[in-house]
């Protein structure tokens, strides 16, 4: 294993200076769960590593009715899973967190690291997309905000420019009568990488029609994706069984999966239809009747058999 210099900034400005001084040979790490794997295999051979764990404030989680949910990039997946406001108001994100690896990994892995890893199969990413997350990015040129839909550029590639750091993810407040769910399907359970991930968030109007619909999918395209055509099929419509089934069919058609050791492309596409239908049904039911208990959400989030 190649040696590297270990750098530990204690402020965001200090971290930015370290990145600027190190150039292409420096790598930023958060929980290090992805970094360790790639370093041990020799895939990453940095000259220096900048560890963000001691920069204050980057692990904060807060919510208010005006701005919605703020997730510091260093907030751990376990903290997100256990947060009461997230469980009540952003249940699809809580489900994505509980389906994320095992508890030991969740205690280290961060929401910002999961986003910057840019894996098509990242378990928190479909829910973040479904809730219209925005990225706060700080770099040498100052601060900018970017929709998460524009953040992913390809497998392992993001819109971050040299010297930039993702510091926060912000999710707008959900409207009244909103429900959501994320389902991860994998052959071997929580510790396995997902073969398919599906998130749905639905807001209902007073007459019961779908006022807002978000469907986001993982592991079925080069990047986590929104199924925009499927969403459009339901917006303004009553969430009948036939309409939900048709939206799920359209979602499956919009995917571009690959075949690998976890699943074949055809199976992935078929399961997108199944999981999208299930997440939509649950989202509609909880939008009308209130959030499900977290134990039920946890049971639904991870499916090893269809």
- Examine the domain organization and report whether 148 and 212 are in the same domain: no
151 in Cβ contact with 115 (< 8 Å): yes
| Helical axes 241-253 vs 265-289, angle rounded to 10° | 140
- Examine the domain organization and report whether 70 and 41 are in the same domain: no
Question: Each residue of 124-159: pLDDT tens digit?
Answer: 999 999 999 999 999 999 999 999 999 999 999 999
Q: What percent of the chain has pLDDT over 90?
A: 83
Sheet holding 5-7, edge to edge: 5-7, 48-51, 26-29
Is 56 within a domain? no
**Residue finishing a domain among 171, 190, 215:** 171
- Examine the domain organization and report whether 253 and 237 are in the same domain: yes
- Examine the domain organization and report whether 189 and 293 are in the same domain: yes
Q: What is the pLDDT of residue 66?
A: 96
- Examine the domain organization and report whether 143 and 224 are in the same domain: no
What residues form DSSP beta bridges with 136?
145, 168
Is 19 within a domain? yes
Q: Residue 45: which CATH number?
A: 3.30.43.10
- Examine the domain organization and report whether 210 and 290 are in the same domain: yes
Among residues 23, 49, 20, 19, the alpha carbon closest in space to that of 35 is found at: 49
- Examine the domain organization and report whether 21 and 80 are in the same domain: no
Q: What is the pLDDT of residue 210?
A: 98
- Examine the domain organization and report whether 153 and 184 are in the same domain: no
Q: How far apart are CA 213 and CA 235, in angstroms?
A: 6
Question: Each residue of 181-225: pLDDT tens digit?
Answer: 999 998 876 568 899 999 999 999 999 999 999 999 999 999 999
- Examine the domain organization and report whether 66 and 156 are in the same domain: yes
Is 286 within a domain? yes
For residue 227, name the pLDDT band (cuts at 50, 70, 90): very high
Is 106 within a domain? yes
- Examine the domain organization and report whether 184 and 242 are in the same domain: yes
- Examine the domain organization and report whether 32 and 104 are in the same domain: no
Q: What is the pLDDT of residue 44?
A: 77
Is 235 within a domain? yes
Q: What is the pLDDT of residue 36?
A: 73
Question: Each residue of 5-60: pLDDT tens digit?
Answer: 999 999 999 999 999 999 888 999 998 877 777 777 777 788 889 999 999 999 99
Q: Residue 149: which CATH number?
A: 3.30.465.10
Q: What is the pLDDT of residue 57?
A: 95
In what helix (H) or strand (E) does residue 200 lie, and over which residues does it extend?
Answer: strand 196-204
| Helical axes 294-301 vs 91-98, angle rounded to 10° | 60
Q: How far apart are CA 123 and CA 101, in angstroms?
A: 9
140: domain range?
61-171
- Examine the domain organization and report whether 140 and 216 are in the same domain: no
Its pTM stands at 0.95
Question: Each residue of 280-294: pLDDT tens digit?
Answer: 999 999 999 999 999
Is 261 within a domain? yes
Q: Residue 232: which CATH number?
A: 3.30.390.50
pLDDT at 262 over 60: yes
Number of domains forming the structure of the chain: 3
The alpha carbons of the chain give a radius of gyration, in whole angstroms, of: 19
**Residue finishing a domain among 171, 199, 217:** 171
**Residue finishing a domain among 171, 206, 230:** 171
């Amino acid at each position: 294993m190649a040696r590297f210099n270990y750098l530990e900034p204690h402020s965001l400005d200090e971290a930015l200076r370290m990145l600027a001084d190190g150039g292409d040979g420096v790598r930023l790490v958060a929980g290090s769960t992805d970094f360790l794997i790639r370093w041990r295999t020799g895939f990453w051979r940095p000259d220096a590593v900048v560890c963000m764990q001691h920069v204050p404030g980057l692990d904060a989680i807060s919510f208010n009715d005006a701005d919605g949910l703020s997730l510091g990039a260093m907030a751990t997946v376990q903290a997100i899973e256990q947060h009461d406001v997230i469980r009540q108001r952003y249940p699809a994100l809580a489900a994505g967190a509980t389906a994320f690896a095992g508890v030991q990994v969740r205690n280290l892995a961060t929401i910002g690291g999961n986003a910057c890893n840019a894996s098509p199969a990242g378990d928190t990413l479909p829910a973040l997309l479904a809730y219209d997350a925005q990225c706060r990015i700080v770099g040498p040129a100052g601060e900018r905000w970017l929709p998460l839909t524009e953040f992913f550029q390809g497998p392992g590639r993001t819109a971050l420019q040299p010297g930039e750091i993702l510091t926060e993810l912000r999710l707008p407040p959900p409207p009244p009568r909103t429900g959501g769910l994320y389902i991860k399907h994998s052959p071997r359970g929580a510790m396995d990488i997902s073969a398919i991930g599906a998130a749905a968030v639905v807001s209902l109007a007073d007459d019961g029609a779908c006022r807002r619909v978000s469907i986001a999918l993982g592991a079925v395209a080069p990047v986590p994706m929104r199924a925009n055509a499927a969403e459009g099929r339901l917006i303004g419509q009553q969430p009948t069984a036939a309409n939900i089934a048709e939206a799920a069919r359209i979602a499956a058609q919009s995917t571009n999966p690959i075949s690998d050791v976890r699943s074949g492309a055809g199976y992935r596409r078929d399961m997108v239809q199944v999981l999208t239908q299930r997440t939509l049904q649950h989202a509609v039911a909880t939008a009308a009747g209130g959030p499900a208990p977290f134990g039920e959400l946890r049971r639904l989030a991870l499916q090893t058999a269809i």
